[in-house]
């Protein structure tokens, strides 16, 4: 089981809800993924009263937990305002905190992120910060009160997978008891498998599923990939070797003199 802020979850696949071709495909994809948590942007919910009510009705019918996010916020003040509004709209203290610092890569502004996290945690929010693999930033976020970290795999929507394997491995090794969720940049189910094999606790996927030719099939593929990666990790994988090692015993076999 995955535990996030004292909430136990069976699924290690979190799903975004943006950019799906239709509400019906979103519904089917969430069910195919077996996701228990979906992210929702407040701006999407509030974009139009009638559309927002319809979208919220879909989420309620699915019976999943909502993780509101502060997507599109570029300052601490904007992120705080959005988080407070999200708590009122969705009735949850969970918040996926995004403070964007660079428009081309959508890289987090880690200075603003730490400050916003500190203020929100002090107000009782349970913060899921979208961050980089930087170890110092991770320390500051944990000191601010975060109990979960969401490092990026690659820039949002890029589909490039895990760009900095060394940095991500170091992050996992330095914080063995902190739930770490890879957020952003995954494009293939194999990327999710790799993340879970490396010891990450879960992944959050949106664009790779929503923009697939068949979102429902892709959601199911990611669900199986996450399960395979987790099982591969817990099974105790062999250590890589520099030299070949025969898989068939050579003792007692014929040999040429």
Taking alpha carbons only, the member of 99, 101, 108 closest to residue 80 is 99
> Any idea which residue has 């990666």 for tokens?
229
Helix axes 215-234, 23-33, angle to 10 degrees: 20
Q: How far is 171 from 135, CA to CA, in rounded Å?
A: 6
Q: What is the DSSP string of 78-130?
A: HHHHHHHHHHHHH--SEEEE--EEETTTTEE-HHHHHHHHHHHHHTT-EEEEE
Burial of 56 (0-12, 13-18, 19+ CB in 10 A): middle
Given a contact cutoff of 8 angstroms between Cβ atoms, the answer to whether 175 and 138 are in contact is yes
Question: Has 96 been annotated as catalytic?
Answer: yes
Question: Is the CB of residue 175 less than 8 Å from the CB of residue 149?
Answer: yes
Catalytic residue among 16, 36, 71, 96: 96
Using a CB cutoff of 8 Å and minimum separation of 24, what contacts does 232-237 make? 232/193, 232/196, 232/197, 233/196, 233/197, 233/198, 233/199, 237/197
Residues marked active site are found at 96
């Amino acid at each position: 089981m995955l535990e996030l802020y004292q909430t136990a979850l069976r699924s290690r696949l979190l799903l975004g809800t943006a950019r799906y071709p239709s509400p019906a495909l979103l519904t089917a994809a969430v069910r195919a993924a077996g996701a228990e948590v979906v992210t929702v942007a407040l701006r999407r919910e509030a974009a139009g009263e009638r559309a927002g009510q319809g979208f919220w009705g879909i989420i309620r019918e699915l019976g999943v937990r909502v993780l509101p996010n502060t997507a599109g916020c570029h300052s601490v003040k904007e992120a705080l305002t959005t988080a407070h509004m999200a708590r009122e709209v969705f009735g949850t203290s969970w918040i996926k905190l995004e403070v964007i610092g660079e428009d081309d890569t959508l890289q987090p502004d880690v200075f603003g992120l730490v400050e916003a996290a500190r203020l929100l945690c002090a107000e009782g929010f349970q913060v899921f910060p979208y961050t980089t693999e930087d170890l110092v930033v991770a320390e500051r976020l944990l000191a601010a009160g975060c109990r979960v970290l969401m490092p990026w795999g690659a820039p949002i929507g890029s589909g490039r997978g895990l760009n900095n394997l060394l940095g991500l491995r170091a992050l996992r090794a330095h914080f063995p008891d902190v739930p770490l969720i890879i957020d952003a940049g995954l494009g293939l189910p194999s990327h999710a498998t790799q993340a879970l094999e490396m010891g990450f606790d879960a992944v959050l996927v949106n664009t790779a599923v929503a923009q697939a030719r068949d979102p429902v099939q892709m959601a199911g593929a990611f669900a199986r990939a996450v399960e395979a990666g987790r099982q591969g990790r817990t099974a105790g994988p062999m250590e890589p070797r520099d030299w070949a090692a025969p898989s068939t015993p050579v003792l007692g076999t014929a040999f040429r003199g």
